[in-house]
Structure 1
């Protein structure tokens, strides 16, 4: 009799545990399925209700070239895994020195993630301290065949935390639309850009 009661309790506990797991999984699935919550298409501009938010200014002048640029001595190519990405999935890119000579770059964090608006291209990130901040720069040599690679999950927290040591945020939330990744850190060369569509 004792064994039967113990078996019954064990079975009940296992059933409750399984039901609890299903409930949690359901919540996680629902949260993960929320998708992008920001404005769709090409908004007039990017507005943030946080009074302490100061959007990152583009640290470059002039137009963004395509995915290939030539410096005085060598050539760089920016390649992306795709041009249509789902919210929450990883944006994967590689910047390569495809020429024969070394060149100076400003480090792996010398990039912008911008959204197309009617007011122009704007970085989706900004400082949360109420003050203007600059992205870190550190000069280093990229030899022939040298490369930087990135894998950034396309959701607000991952984009904001991709640069260590800075309190950044994404505001407003990402929405379906046209974005671009811009690497502006090749010294004496125009920035390179790779466009992509963010979908739900």
Structure 2
């Protein structure tokens, strides 16, 4: 095999570029880049960003809720989720009668702040938006299920037909998924810790 100085230099440069590519990707930030812990509030640098309003007044019930006719349970895989992984949740009618709902998109994804729970999503159009609501019935032994990728784009793209964004970026801290679409019942939620 014929080795030349030019070939050795080219091979060394290629090996160096491969070795540093992973470092550059890590330095560029593949993990959560937002505020850590419990921030005072959620602040967005985009002046056109309008955060989703909280569409419910009642306090959030955890795991199990009684409607007028039946029982509904919200379950999740764990209490700690990793940035970039999927948050999997199931809302199941475990009772003996159908549950009236406002459809699968009637949920909030909130972050705990010093001023309370705030939705991480909003519109970048300068105007507020509402999530789609459609009267539906969750039959006995039926369920709604969500599989939301825990990245800014994954959360923003989880609701079809609505142009949403997440701002500021996600950071390590306490979050909760709240389904507020049960008619004649309080919202039901599940808290989780997001880690990098």
What's the TM-score bracket when you normalise by the shorter of the two chains? 0.7 to 0.9
Question: Are 1:102 and 2:98 counterparts?
Answer: yes
Deviation (angstroms), 1:23: 6.5
Aligned to 1:11: none
CA distance in 1, matches of 2:98, 2:67: 10
Question: Are 1:56 and 2:63 counterparts?
Answer: no
Residue number among 183, 186, 196 corresponding to 1:187 in the alignment: 183
Question: Are 1:37 and 2:33 counterparts?
Answer: yes
Q: Deviations over 1:18-62 (max 9, x none)?
A: 969957973796379631100011100000010100000011112
So what's the TM-score if we normalise by structure 1? 0.86
So what's the TM-score if we normalise by structure 2? 0.88
CA distance in 2, matches of 1:26, 1:161: 27
Q: Deviations over 1:138-190 (max 9, x none)?
A: 11111101100111111100000111111111000000000000000011110
Q: What SS class does the counterpart of residue 117 from structure 2 fall into?
A: strand
CA distance in 2, matches of 1:28, 1:146: 46
Question: Are 1:172 and 2:196 counterparts?
Answer: no
Question: Are 1:116 and 2:112 counterparts?
Answer: yes
Q: How many residues in Structure 1 have an aligned counterpart in Structure 2?
A: 189
Question: Are 1:146 and 2:142 counterparts?
Answer: yes
Deviation (angstroms), 1:67: 1.0
Aligned to 1:10: none
| Structure 1 pair 170–28 and aligned structure 2 pair: CA distance change class (3 A) | same
Q: What SS class does the counterpart of residue 153 from structure 2 fall into?
A: helix
| Structure 1 pair 19–165 and aligned structure 2 pair: CA distance change class (3 A) | farther
Q: Which runs of 5+ in 2 are unaligned?
A: 3-10
Q: Deviations over 1:53-110 (max 9, x none)?
A: 0000011112011110001110000000000011111100000000010111111111
Give the RMSD, CA atoms, in angstroms: 2.3
CA distance in 2, matches of 1:111, 1:94: 12
Q: What SS class does the counterpart of residue 156 from structure 2 fall into?
A: helix
CA distance in 2, matches of 1:157, 1:73: 37
